[in-house]
Amino acid sequence: MDWADFFERTRVAAGVESFAKLAPKLGITDGAIGHYRQGRQIPSVWVVADCLKIQGHPTPEKAAVEIMRSEARTATERTFWKKLLASTAVLLCAVGFSGAMPGKAYAASVSADAQGSQHGSMPIM
């Protein structure tokens, strides 16, 4: 991965003129961006996902895990990211399926009375 190009694309997509102004949008310092761009460190998966969101990627979390898997330096790291990617795919399918279900979800509030009965509900979606 060319991290210098990756962060440059993110900076342009964010519409800022410097990495110092991009850094707060990612929750990191501009020094960290410098380390990533120079290849001294690899950014965390969350930073990569946030960059991909700014760049307008349709599935930034999944793509971030794929990038991290490709950047893994050891077999153990590659195995970890491969398993995480598989788990993410299953979870996204499950969430996507449940999101297609009609109706509203409700959270029941539980009373502290001695009988332990539930009272009322409130919509959560």
Intra-chain end-to-end CA distance of the chain, in Å: 39
Structural domain includes residue 71: yes
Q: Is the dihedral of CA 29, 31, 32, 34 positive or negative?
A: positive
Amino acid at 33: I
Query: Hey, how many other C-beta atoms are within 10 angstroms of the C-beta on 80?
Result: 14
Structural domain includes residue 120: no
pLDDT of 85: 78
Structural domain includes residue 122: no
Structural domain includes residue 121: no
Structural domain includes residue 118: no
pLDDT by residue for the chain (125 residues), tens only, comes to 999 999 999 999 999 999 999 999 999 999 999 999 999 999 999 999 999 999 999 999 999 989 988 888 888 888 888 888 787 666 666 665 555 444 444 444 444 444 544 455 455 54
Domain count, the chain: 1
Structural domain includes residue 116: no
Structural domain includes residue 112: no
Structural domain includes residue 34: yes
Q: Which domain range does residue 20 map to?
A: 3-99
pLDDT of 111: 45
